[in-house]
């Protein structure tokens, strides 16, 4: 149980430190998908 709790704590800390990088990656992915959609729509 201690190992699971420590692993969850470290994962939570990692997400707290890198949430902005995850947001940037998600934004780029959404932009690429939207560009692909509109590219297919207009061509």
* Those residues with Cβ within 8 angstroms of residue 37's Cβ, 6 or more apart along the chain or in another chain: none
E strand or H helix that includes residue 18: helix 2-42
The pLDDT value recorded for residue 2 is: 67
Handedness of CA 8, 14, 20, 22 (dihedral sign): negative
Q: What is the pLDDT along the chain (43 residues), one digit of tens a residue?
A: 666 666 767 778 877 887 888 899 999 999 999 999 999 988 7
The pLDDT value recorded for residue 24 is: 92
The pLDDT value recorded for residue 33 is: 97
State the pTM of this model.
0.59
Residues 4-41 as b/e (b if ≥16 CB within 10 A, e otherwise) read eeeeeeeeeeeeeeeeeeeeeeeeeeeeeeeeeeeeee
């Amino acid at each position: 149980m201690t190992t699971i709790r420590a692993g969850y704590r470290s994962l939570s800390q990692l997400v707290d430190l890198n949430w902005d990088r995850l947001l940037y990656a998600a934004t780029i992915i959404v932009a690429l998908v939207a560009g692909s959609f509109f590219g297919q729509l207009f061509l």
